[in-house]
């Protein structure tokens, strides 16, 4: 498990990219305060998923509009998925398992 720092560094309703081991991971803090984590780079055009529009269940790639389920990483149009990661808040800090 990796500690990514205080949860406050990810504003509500937004995502941020973190380097974890040899991966780039986008961590999203949903409006209800819960966390989700996916690979940070879209496999289609290399778009930065942390910059995409996100709601409580999906994130949209800012470069070409692919939509990824934030729990599973599945692309809604049947395209290449991204990996999702177990992430949680423990004592105000982001904890992720890779």
Give the pLDDT of residue 37. Answer: 98
2-96: CATH superfamily: Rieske [2Fe-2S] iron-sulphur domain (2.102.10.10)
Give the pLDDT of residue 45. Answer: 83
pLDDT under 50 in the chain at which residues?
none
Report CA-CA distances (Å) from 57 to 22, 47, 72, 80, 91: 26, 19, 10, 18, 24
């Amino acid at each position: 498990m990796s500690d990514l720092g205080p949860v406050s560094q990810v504003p509500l309703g937004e995502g941020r990219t973190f380097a974890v081991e040899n991966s780039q991971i986008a961590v999203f803090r949903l409006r209800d305060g819960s966390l989700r984590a996916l690979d940070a780079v879209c496999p289609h055009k290399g778009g930065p998923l942390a910059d995409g529009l996100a709601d409580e269940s999906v994130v949209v790639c800012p470069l070409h509009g692919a939509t990824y389920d934030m729990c599973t990483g599945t692309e809604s149009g049947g395209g290449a998925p991204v990996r999702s990661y177990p992430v949680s808040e423990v004592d105000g800090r982001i904890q992720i398992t890779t």
